[in-house]
Amino acid sequence: MLAMAVSTRARADTAAAPTSPAAPQQFARLGDLRLESGAVIHDCQLGYRTLGTLNAARDNAILVPTWHTGTSGQLLEVLGPQGLFDPAPYFVILVDALGNGVSCSPSNSASQHGKAFPAFTIRDMVASQHRLLTEQLGLHHLRAVVGYSMGGMQTLQWTVSHPRFMDAAVAIAATPRLSSYDLLFWRTAEQAIVTDAAFAGGDYQRNPPLPLFQMVFALNATSPDFRQHKTTPAEFDKFLRETVAPDPEAPDANDNLAQIRALLSQDIGAGPGGPPGLEQAATRVRARVHLINARQDQLVNPRAAQTLAPMLHARLTLLDSECGHFAIQCDMASIRAAVEMALKPEVGSVPEAISKPRSAGIAVTPK
């Protein structure tokens, strides 16, 4: 989920990213954005990039939301013929989620700066993206929504908030709701930020390095086996120094915290006027859903996705490598094959509401 940005440190620790295509940063002015809480983000701009051309039938558009603290520019790094999917046949919209430092965020708001920025949710992210598509780009249907980590959480929320808007949804390393283990990890990460003296209650003058947060994140980003194979005890002190060293590319701490709090409350079976529980949420879904999870993911536990899959008649791909949440860096070929399969048009209509659970199709990719 989150884990966020596939950072420069993470890339150095795992495999190289594919070559990225080029697309300029753009912004959609949404004005005042009313949130589900009733609060308002003033003068909200949503960042996005586009790749390719919308075809005459207007049926080749794919939305890709960002992961936690990720940017649309970083999404470019994981697309291409050797990336998550080849964007060439599609009109791809890469959208900067609320609070990522590019779209309206605590760090860039003039009137609601820092801790004064209103709390938002994953559902608010999806609502802002819906406005971008319908009001700014004139799109009212998508071939698919594809997301990784927190982008996958947004993808799953899309299927419930706007069930007929897309033909397919591909959620990678994501969950429909946080498990108790996820809550424990992200509450710990939250505390590692707010209790840091340099964070200064959100009133810092310089972005704090947050060494404890970096350690907590590194602890769960991959599996124990991965860390032991990658770092010998003799190399550990060097690894730790590099992990906690100030990173000029690190996301703003208030932005980081705001997005953590958004994902902490996420549950596709909850929300104002929403259905109570996964089973009821599943009855709203009309898209074909493909879930891709890693068994050893310690940032986003895969069990809730496995529970949801049969409710949706969804295909489930389980990755069995030791790379954990960063399977996107270690198992890209397996993930790409699953995504490309999901993007193929299906003969017949999209699924109607699911009345009874049944077994999902499960593909297990070994080490």
Does residue 47 fall inside a structural domain? Answer: yes
CA triple 139-145-149, angle to 5 deg: 140
- Tell me whether residue 297 is one of the annotated catalytic residues: yes
Check 13, 109, 325, 331 and give the catalytic one: 325
Residue in 297, 321, 331, 334 annotated catalytic: 297
- Axis-axis angle for helices 253-264, 180-194 (nearest 10): 160
Q: What is the largest CA-CA distance in the chain?
A: 60
Provide the residue count of the chain: 367
User: Could you tell me if residue 36 is inside a domain?
Assistant: yes
Structure pTM? 0.90
- The lowest-confidence range among 89-103, 234-248, 256-270, 274-288 is 274-288
Residue 345: predicted pLDDT: 81
Distance CA 350, CA 362 (A): 20
What is the overall mean pLDDT for the chain?
89
Kindly state whether residue 37 falls inside one of the protein's structural domains.
Answer: yes
Query: Residue 173's pLDDT is what?
Result: 97
Residue 152 lies in a domain: yes
Provide the domain limits for residue 169: 8-182+262-365
Q: Are 309 and 357 in contact (CB under 8 A)?
A: no
- Residues β-bridged to residue 168: 144, 288
If you average pLDDT over residues 30-52, what whole number do you get? Answer: 97
Strands 142-148 and 91-95: unpaired
Structural domain count of the chain:
1
Q: Is 325 a catalytic residue?
A: yes
CATH number at residue 43: 3.40.50.1820
32 annotated active-site:
no
Mean pLDDT of 91-100: 98
Q: Answer yes or no: is 79 within a domain.
A: yes
Tell me, yes or no, whether 218 lies in a domain.
Answer: no
Catalytic residue (choose from 149, 161, 223, 334): 149
The percentage of the chain sitting over the pLDDT mark of 70, rounded to a whole number, equals: 87
Any domain includes 203:
no
243 part of a folded domain: no
